Homo-oligomer: A and B are copies of this chain.
Amino acid sequence: MKNFNFQNPTKIIFGKGEIAKLSDEIPSNAKVLILYGGGSIKKNGIYEQVIKALEKHHVIEFGGIPPNPEYKVLIEALTIIKRENIDFLLAVGGGSVIDGTKFLSSAALYEGAEPWDILTSRKPTLKGMPFGTVLTLPATGSEMNSGAVITKAETQEKLGMGGPGLFPQFSILDPQVVQSIPERQIANGLADAFTHVLEQYVTYPIDAYIQDRFAEGILQSLIEVAPQVMANTNNYEAAANFMWCCTMALNGLIQKGVPTDWAIHAIGHELTALYGIDHARTLAIITESHYTYNFEAKKEKLAQLAERVFKIAKGNTDEKAKAAIKAISDFFQSIGIDTKLSDYTPNYQNTAQEIEQRFNDRGWIGIGEHGKLTPSDVKTIVEMSY
């Protein structure tokens, strides 16, 4: 096991009807900016619950944060934060709204001239403006971690940021929000959480017993809950398990003391930037080819995954590992998620070269758990995903 630090101060308030507790969590004298996305919260009743809970607070709102939170839109929100002397941010939404709010939390206290530098400088944010979240879409885990990914449409860039100052002070997780989520986004959430766990698990053995068992436990739970929640979003117990799985998949716990990969995300982000493919689906596109291309480096953990999660008892290490790769793709397909780039765009032919070029341009040296994958490796992985 590697040495590690672990600290996650976010307060989780989980369960039916908990949005009503919002007012206890925000200082009564705070000037609050409520941030949300495309307005679905105004159709499903969540907006009313939030406004009612905060009826005694001074609130202003800012809607329209798009999926893959866009820098230009966030800068408009930043202007309001400064103009209105906002001192508390409340994200009401999914990963994009929460990630956008994290950027704003950092940018609100940033002293540089150009807030985009927060992303390019790669310096962790040590202190941000306080913020909380009301999660409306289980998927990214952003509600209980301190990371965010922000998009700049102008340059087709998608970059990460984070730091110990960017944990939500609280996150309210009411599984009833799942009722009104479209099937496509439920599937995305399942695939996103599933891949988050894979990125922290399918590397090489390092004798970290609990981390492995916990990762396997989340994967097993997602596999078990997927058909239930896909079949009926009104199944509260299924929704609750789905929601808690997504949070636990990326709240920092299972990655402590072990190697992590994140190459699938690094490559997948490019597919979203280039074609606007849903984030979760880009992960499903890359996973099989990444694991096939890096088979030798990953086969021990893939075989363990086959045995413990997919209950594949037969075969040697290579055979089990291959069966695990197939079982992962089968899982994605079972929830209606296609796993080849050509399923999403007819114009995929130059994608590999283009992504290679983008990796080269950014001066990235190596990705993956060994930090050894080159832009040329990435090119091959993307080609294999056509």
Contacts and interface: CB of A to CB of B under 8 A. Distances in A.
Interface in A241-264: 241, 244-245, 248, 253, 256-257
A308 to B, nearest CB: 10
Interface stretch (A13-21, A99-107, A319-327, A372-380): A13-21
A123 to B, nearest CB: 19
A208 B5 contact: no
Contacts of A257: 14-15, 240, 244
Interface stretch (A57-65, A150-158, A216-224): A216-224
Nearest to A18: B3
Contacts of A1: 14-15, 175, 237, 240-241, 244
The oligomer's copy count stands at: 2
Contact of A216 (B217, B224, B225): B217
A138 to B, nearest CB: 13
A56 interface: no
Contact of A7 (B12, B213, B221, B224): B12
A180 B1 CA distance: 20
Interface in A1-29: 1-18
Contacts of A8: 8
| Size band of the interface chain A makes with B | 35 or more
A343 interface: no
Nearest to A167: B9
A241 B214 CA distance: 13
B6 A9 contact: no
A213 B10 CA distance: 23
B14 A4 contact: yes
Interface in A190-241: 207-210, 213-214, 216-218, 220-221, 224-225, 237, 240-241
B244 A210 contact: yes
B209 A221 contact: yes
Contact of A241 (B15, B209, B218): B209
A4 B17 CA distance: 11
A175 to B, nearest CB: 8
Contacts of A2: 15
Nearest to A169: B7
Interface string A246-287: 001000010011000000000000000000000000000000
A12 B256 CA distance: 10
A5 to B, nearest CB: 5
The 9 closest A-B pairs by CB, nearest first: A3-B15, A213-B217, A209-B221, A7-B11, A9-B9, A1-B240, A6-B12, A209-B241, A207-B237
Given A3-B18, A7-B10, 20 more contacts: A1-B14, A3-B15, A3-B16, A5-B12, A6-B11, A6-B14, A7-B11, A7-B12, A14-B257, A208-B240, A208-B241, A208-B244, A209-B220, A209-B221, A210-B217, A210-B221, A210-B241, A213-B218, A214-B214, A253-B253
23 contacts: A1-B14, A1-B237, A1-B240, A1-B244, A2-B15, A3-B15, A3-B16, A3-B17, A3-B18, A6-B11, A7-B9, A7-B10, A14-B257, A15-B257, A207-B237, A209-B221, A209-B224, A213-B213, A213-B220, A213-B221, A214-B217, A217-B217, A253-B253
